[in-house]
Amino acid sequence: MLDLHRVTALCDGKMKNSDRILVKILKEVCEERRISCVPFATDWIISLEKGGVRRFVYGYLFPNNNACSAALCGDKSGLYSALTDAGISAVPHYFFMPPKNIHYVGKDDTNERLVALAACTQSFAVKPNEGTGGECVTRVNGIEGLTRAVKLLFKRGRSVAVSPFIDIEDEFRIVVFEGEAELIFKKERPFVTGDGAATVARLAARKYGEAFVIKKEDVLADVASVPNEGGTVLLNWKHNLGSGARAVEIIKDKSGSPPQSDTVIADAGLFDELASFAVAGARAAGISFASVDVIRADGKLSVMEINAGVMLENFAAVSVSNYQKAKSIYAKAVVRLF
């Protein structure tokens, strides 16, 4: 069943390292296979040892990948370049560096490039080039908003990625291991359905609880407005699980039976389409074990990003079945290390 305490802690960013599901899973996997498992650095680093061979899991990064491919996946603009060079459709991420570091790339043409981007489209997603989980990602409009957001991030990090804002129909996560799709789920953003009487804020509190927080910068509608009866209002433009989206698994169901619950979709055709595309993307990035985030916009699939750190906390917290699936995926990665 859904572990609301754990999910809330995940969304709030307040979960202790030692409370992570990954830590629990690795201890179980290692005990079952007689592998020494020693967490340290407040359980963020885990040492695995067997037969004189020692490996480390760092956060959610596993040593199944080579360091260069893992670093590439952590570089949004670099990954975009690598994928497009290989013929894989990917969401554009344009690289910008703060003035203090501009000597690494040549002349400072930031303003000219921002103006050029603003001439092509008016809405953008601005984010840290090396960030994860939707942190510090903002949606802005026009050259003034774009310039302001980029300069603000210049003060916080080493580089910035700018993407044209895309009206995403669906976003999926595909966990790939050694050329196979081990798990696929859709990221379903939080939403409310209007009753013609209650405000967006009231509907959200009724559905998700009074503690549910709606950030005005993330919701596209006025939280004080009253949606029409039957109308759907999304509560976040982001699809990040850490921002309130939930995982709805896509499974292959050859028997044609109906979905098991509202957290499972049986669609063999969709599963195969996503699996093939994600595996091709992972191969182009040279990555063996990763989570590939794929969007569909205007009917076309594109890679949003590839995460070398495979985090399944939200998915595993939903049910015992999901926990076991996450455990089986991590177990495959661990077994390959020895």
Residues 96, 82 within the same domain = no
Residues 181, 158 within the same domain = no
**CATH code of the domain covering residue 185:** 3.30.470.20
Looking at residue 185, its amino acid is F
Q: Which of 33, 9, 6, 11 is nearest to 336 (CA)?
A: 33
Residue 131 is predicted with a pLDDT of: 73
Structure tokens at 199: 């405000």
Residues 284, 172 within the same domain = yes
Residue 14 is predicted with a pLDDT of: 63
Residues 283, 245 within the same domain = yes
Residues 172, 306 within the same domain = yes
Residues 326, 279 within the same domain = no
Angle, helices 76-85 vs 268-285, to 10°: value is: 100
Q: How many domains does one find in the chain?
A: 4
Residue 240 is predicted with a pLDDT of: 75
Residues 171, 305 within the same domain = yes
Structure tokens at 47: 């040492």
Q: What is the pLDDT along the chain (338 residues), one digit of tens a residue?
A: 445 445 445 444 567 888 999 999 999 999 999 999 999 999 999 999 999 999 999 999 999 999 999 999 999 999 999 999 999 999 999 999 998 888 888 888 999 999 999 999 999 999 999 977 667 889 999 999 999 999 999 998 889 999 999 999 999 999 999 999 999 999 988 888 999 999 988 898 888 888 777 777 777 778 889 989 999 888 887 777 776 788 899 998 755 544 556 788 899 999 999 999 999 999 999 999 999 999 999 999 999 999 999 999 999 998 999 999 999 999 999 999 99
Radius of gyration of the chain (CA): 21
**CATH code of the domain covering residue 159:** 3.30.1490.20
Residues 25, 123 within the same domain = no
Last residue of a domain, one of 210, 231, 252: 231
Report how far apart, in Å, the C-alpha atoms of 332 and of each of 125, 151, 241, 286, 336 are.
36, 43, 24, 19, 6
Which residues constitute the domain of residue 204?
195-231
Residue 260 is predicted with a pLDDT of: 55
Residue 111 sits at φ, ψ, to 5 deg, of: -60, -45
Under a CB-based contact definition with an 8 Å cutoff, are residues 78 and 105 in contact? no
Under a CB-based contact definition with an 8 Å cutoff, are residues 273 and 213 in contact? no
Residues 254, 174 within the same domain = yes
Residues 179, 253 within the same domain = yes
For residue 38, the SS3 value is strand
Residues 78, 174 within the same domain = yes
Residues 183, 252 within the same domain = yes
